[in-house]
A and B are shown apart, each in its own frame.
Chain A
Amino acid sequence: SQQGEEDPQALSIQEGENATMNCSYKTSINNLQWYRQNSGRGLVHLILIRSNEREKHSGRLRVTLDTSKKSSSLLITASRAADTASYFCATVGGSNYKLTFGKGTLLTVNP
C-alpha cells in the first residue's frame, strides 16, 4: 500500500522558475525522504528530514515537514532542464524502518 500521496501528479515549468511539490501521508513516521528518478540515473536519494525537524536545506532543495498536518513539501529553486524527473516522497516508520513511497510527481523543466 502507498503511504505518501504527492501533489501535483505532473508539473511543467520554465527553466529558472521554482518548483514546489507536496506530499501528504497517513500514519506516524520516523522520517520522510525525497527521491528523484530519471532514466539516466535511476532512483536517487535527495534529502531526509526527521520527524522532529521542520525544515531542511540542501543546495537548491528546501524541504519542510508539518507532522501535525502529516504533510511535507519539496521546493526546487532556480530549476534547470536537468531537474526534469519524477520526484517521490517516501515515509519511514515501523520497527524495521520500512520505506513506503508515494506515486510521484513528474516534473518537466522546459529550456
Chain B
Amino acid sequence: EAGVAQSPRYKIIEKRQSVAFWCNPISGHATLYWYQQILGQGPKLLIQFQNNGVVDDSQLPKDRFSAERLKGVDSTLKIQPAKLEDSAVYLCASSFRRGGPDTQYFGPGTRLTVL
C-alpha cells in the first residue's frame, strides 16, 4: 500500500514570498491533517479535513495560511506571505476514520526554510 505522498521535500524562500505544499493521502482515507513541526518540538495540528470539509482549523494562522482539499483527495497548504518563524517541517497525515479515533499515517514532510 502506498503511503502519504508530499512534495516538495525541501523548499527555501525569502520572507514575504509565497509557497505551496502538496499532499496525496492514502487511498480511501477520509481524514487529512496538516501539521507544523518546529525544530525541537512535536508536531502541531494546523488543519483537519473530513472529506472536503474543514473539521478543525483553530490553530491555522488564517491571515497568511490557507488550505484546501478538492474532491476529498489531494490537499494543498499555502503560506502567503511567509515569515521567518514559518521555518519548519510541514507534515501531512491521513486516517481512515469517519467519526472516531484512528491511527494517523504521516508523510515524509516538507522542510521549509524562510530566509
Contacts and interface: CB of A to CB of B under 8 A. Distances in A.
Contacts of A100: 45
B109 interface: yes
Contacts of B64: none
Nearest to B103: A45
| Band of interface residues on A | 20 to 34
B56 interface: yes
| Band of interface residues on B | 20 to 34
30 contacts: A2-B42, A30-B101, A31-B101, A42-B106, A42-B108, A42-B109, A43-B43, A43-B91, A43-B93, A45-B103, A45-B104, A45-B105, A48-B103, A88-B43, A90-B42, A92-B101, A97-B97, A97-B100, A97-B101, A97-B102, A98-B45, A98-B48, A99-B33, A99-B45, A99-B104, A100-B45, A101-B42, A103-B40, A103-B42, A104-B42
